[in-house]
Structure 1
Amino acid sequence: MATYAIGDIQGCFDSFQRLLTACNFDPLADRLWLVGDLVNRGPRSLDTLRFVRDLGAAVTTVLGNHDLYLLMAAAGFGRRSKGDTLDEILAAPDREELLDWLRHRPLCHHQGEFCMVHAGLLPQWTVPQARALAAEVEGALISPAYLDFMANMWGSEPASWDDTLAGWPRLRVIVNAMTRMRFCSADGVMEFKTKGELSAAPPGLMPWFEVPGRRSADDVLVTGHWSALGLKVEAKLLALDSGCLWGRHLTAVRLEDRTVFQVDCSTGEAQV
């Protein structure tokens, strides 16, 4: 059995299928780890969502910011972005089943030496602590009152963690760190405007994974979200968003031996 971790798909279903072929993925024997952002901006978000859902126990996917954006849009909260490609999902006859399946996905997955999360972990968090915090958000997502969470989830404040945080601000910080963060300060204050390469770091900020003394540094973090960063295969970091949506590549890494599989973005899928 092999485990293949794959970067942000974002509705690029054709590229996803070609990558699975390149990996010789067998759903009866192998496992997929998907770093989130299954949907949005690419042309076949509905097909992607249905396919991944139907893989059942063969797939583990964590929630990304675009997946949460879909859930929020379906609940009638927030502003729709001009370039989103969610209408097909929202009009689908099986939309409620798909959205319910998505709400039950984890925000963070920890297994052995690996921790998979869409964006990253704040420097104060150990992996076991992050997993426990993710469970708080997951509980809110599957609660009968989950619409209250949807109404209060989005926003960029508070921008840092405090153990005394409670209620919606506490859950919002967890969501933002795990699905939106790229740069932060040495003491974990997040900045959400900058999306470029490492050289674009604002003064006093650094990539979350380079913060000195980060408490999750002994685990292998498997992430996506940061297309400008590109593929990084390091001893303790597998950053897998290689910008398929932007005309570059969709990437898989076989966790057992770090073998990299890539396909170019399929014709008609890139937003360029």
Structure 2
Amino acid sequence: MPMVRTRNVLGGLRVREAMRRQQVLARADETARRGVARMIKFKSDYLLITDDQGAAAGIVTQTDMTGAYYAGLPVETTLGEMMIGPLRCCYLDDPLEDALETMGREQVGQLFVRGADAEKIEGVLTYSDILGLVYRFCRHCRKSRYRMEVEGNGAAPGGEVRVEAVMDPEVNRCDCRIDLIRLMEILTTQGMGAVLLDGSDGRPAGVVSKSDLVIAWYRGVDPTAAAMTIMSRPVQTCHRRDTLTDAIARMLFVDLGRIFVHDADPGEIVGVMSLASAARHRSGTCKACIASRLVA
């Protein structure tokens, strides 16, 4: 009897195939104000900090900046005072599956990529990079629903993964009048990247993410102000029965770190899905092409 094993979507791929070469750099002696401006310009949630010789010295993330805001540090604080290290790294030819596993185990949103010269950073790998690569594979797969629609080959495979299979049903939400200090405490203690805010009617009114908090710090917003003063809206959502591929596409194209999931009523939020959870799930359970993942 032949042995059968499964092969996931990332099988055989290397870090170099998904990583991005562009890095968002800043010097250790620059102020956080300049660093935030650079993060906004490049839509980045981190800065790679370099020393006087241009060598990588550490990293400053949105989490670090949110902590500085909470601690009452001025936005003129130097990045060198805030940076952490050592860098979490992988190598150009590491299996992409291993890198994804490391990101989950270490609970980091990015890995810096080294090449033959271990002292040189060649690029960075994030969850959105991995998802972008997986999405391109799905779009070009011969069993893809998108290709079937374009080529007129019939309906989508019935086994395609739905958002409800991946989402986290636990949604952290607060009243939109909560102050930013308390909101930052909730984000920190519960290890979250964003909080859903409810209006006076109990329905979703907006979202405050670490990005919003960093921008508030940059703009000098009083940390005792109500969260509703800086929240992003409208709340970006998808239906629980949407396909995972469709939800991933929306997250990538709109540059979302997470998307909230609703039921029949768009105001009834039943879950949340992050880039990290989507990447970990999509990398190994593509039910639309499961037959092609069986290797005798």
Report the TM-score when normalising by structure 1: 0.24
Q: Which has the larger radius of gyration?
A: 2
Report the TM-score when normalising by structure 2: 0.23
